[in-house]
């Protein structure tokens, strides 16, 4: 048992991938959109449609590519322990792209015209993990909620 723990720490310190996820920014984005839509345990058809359209926009994908990526994301989210699994792959994005992602997450959450507190919490934590300023987090929310009004 000690050897197993030692081996695990050695792999972590050496930065080796332990097989938990693929390093793909597009998949990580799809996973975060999936996380926010499932946060309230009620994924509406409008949220699914928003996920697809936003993934097409953010990652310049075709409809079938986006739908396939969202299927992969659903499985990754089930297997994931935390948002860090996805946000750690996106830290190299520019501040502008990070803002766009947070705004997209708000759009998914608001697609059913109701932002559940669990959805808010997922977006808030994602913004923190991506080092998006709180003022930008609020600005993204206001852009989405004021636009829908």
> Does the residue 17 lie in any domain?
no
> Does the residue 6 lie in any domain?
no
Domain total for the chain?
A: 1
Q: What is the pLDDT of residues 94-140, one digit of tens each?
A: 999 999 999 999 999 999 999 999 999 999 999 999 999 999 999 99
Which range of residues forms the domain containing residue 115? Answer: 25-148
Q: What is the pLDDT of residues 58-94, one digit of tens each?
A: 999 999 999 999 999 999 999 888 899 899 999 899 9
* Between residues 112 and 13, the one the model is more confident about: 112
> Does the residue 104 lie in any domain?
yes
> Does the residue 4 lie in any domain?
no
> Does the residue 3 lie in any domain?
no
Q: Check: CB of residue 37 under 8 Å from CB of residue 108.
A: yes
> Does the residue 14 lie in any domain?
no
> Does the residue 53 lie in any domain?
yes
Region at 43 (left for phi over 0; alpha for psi -120 to 50; beta for the rest): beta
Is the pTM higher than 0.85? no
Separation between Cα atoms, residue 16 and residue 118, nearest integer Å: 32
> Does the residue 66 lie in any domain?
yes
CATH number at residue 126: 1.10.3680.10
């Amino acid at each position: 048992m000690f050897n197993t723990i030692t081996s695990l720490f050695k792999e972590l310190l050496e930065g080796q991938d332990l097989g938990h996820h693929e390093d793909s920014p597009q998949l990580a984005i799809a996973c975060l959109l999936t996380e926010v839509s499932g946060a309230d345990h009620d994924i509406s058809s409008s949220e699914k449609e928003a996920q697809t359209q936003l993934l097409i926009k953010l990652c310049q994908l075709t409809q079938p590519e986006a739908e396939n990526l969202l299927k992969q994301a659903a499985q990754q989210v089930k297997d994931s322990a935390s948002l860090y699994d996805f946000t750690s792959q996106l830290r190299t994005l520019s501040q502008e792209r990070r803002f766009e992602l947070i705004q997209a997450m708000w759009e998914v959450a608001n697609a059913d015209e109701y932002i559940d507190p669990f959805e808010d919490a997922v977006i808030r934590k994602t913004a923190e993990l991506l080092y998006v300023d709180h003022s930008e987090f609020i600005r993204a929310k206001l852009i989405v909620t004021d636009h829908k009004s």
